[in-house]
Each structure stands twice: as structure tokens, then as C-alpha cells.
Amino acid sequence: MRRVAQVIAVRPEKLDEYRELHRAVPEPVLERLRRCHIANYSIHLLGDRLFAYFEYHGEDLAADLALTAADEATQEWWRRTAPCQAPVPQAAPGEWWATAEQVFLME
């Protein structure tokens, strides 16, 4: 299992919209994530930062993320959520959610 933590900014004027969108994530989006071996997915808010965490239980994260990105329901979901978000300065070129480095783990 691989743990993935990511960070992105939320536009302050879109915060209520972002919260509302996540009260009813479309089931096809959630099902695609499950089929791509993603579990225990959560998003947390602190100030203007969103922190996402999920556990990947597959063999090829890049391939599964590509399947997710190609999914029509997910693409529509992203069209709705993207206006609420902005990459953080630490994001690599072309990276939307910046991947955080794990520096500690207690199991």
C-alpha cells in the first residue's frame, strides 16, 4: 500500500461552493477511484489550503491515475471543482495538486 498526500489552494471566494460540491460527490467518480485501487481518500481544509490523503492498493499508480483522468464522469467533476482551486507555489510545472513528502509515519 502506498500513502499519497497532496496540497492545493482553494480560492477563498469559492470555498462555500467547494464544500457544497463535496457534499454530493457523484457516485461514478467515487466508483472510478475504487476501481483504480484508491481507498481512505479524504480532503481537509486549513485556511486556504486543501490537504488530500489517500491510500493506493494497486501495482501502477501512474496507470490508474491515467484511467481516472480519462474517465468521463471524473472529467466532468474536475470541470466543476477546478475553478475552486489554484496550484500552490510548490507545485511542479503542470502539477495541479502538489504531492507532499512523507517525513514521519507511526503505524
Tens digit of each residue's pLDDT (9 = 90 or more) over 84-105: 999 999 999 999 999 999 999 9
The range of the structural domain enclosing residue 54 comes to 2-99
Average pLDDT over residues 39-50: 97
Please write down the HEC assignment for all residues of the chain: CEEEEEEEEECHHHHHHHHHHHCCCCHHHHHHHHHCCEEEEEEEEECCEEEEEEEECCCCHHHHHHHHHHCHHHHHHHHHHHHHEECCCCCCCCCCCEECCCCCCCC
pLDDT band of 69, cuts 50, 70, 90: very high
The overall average pLDDT reported for the chain is 97
Q: What is the pLDDT of residue 29?
A: 98
Q: Is residue 57 one of the residues assigned to a domain?
A: yes
CATH code, 48:
3.30.70.100
Q: Can you tell me the distance from the alpha carbon of 60 to that of 30, in angstroms, rounded to the nearest whole number?
A: 19
- Which pLDDT does position 19 carry in this prediction? 97
Q: What whole-number distance in Å separates Cα of residue 60 and Cα of residue 87?
A: 25
Q: What is the mean pLDDT of residues 27-54?
A: 98
**Which residues neighbour 72 within 8 Å (Cβ) at sequence distance 6 or greater?**
none
Q: Look at residue 52 and tell me if it is in a domain.
A: yes
- Domain for residue 7, yes or no? yes
Residue 105 lies in a domain: no
Domain assignment present for residue 13? The answer is yes
The pTM of this model reads 0.92
pLDDT at 73: 98
Q: How many domains does the chain have?
A: 1
User: Considering the domain boundaries, does residue 106 fall inside one?
Assistant: no
Judge whether 49 lies within some domain.
Answer: yes
Q: Is position 107 within any domain?
A: no
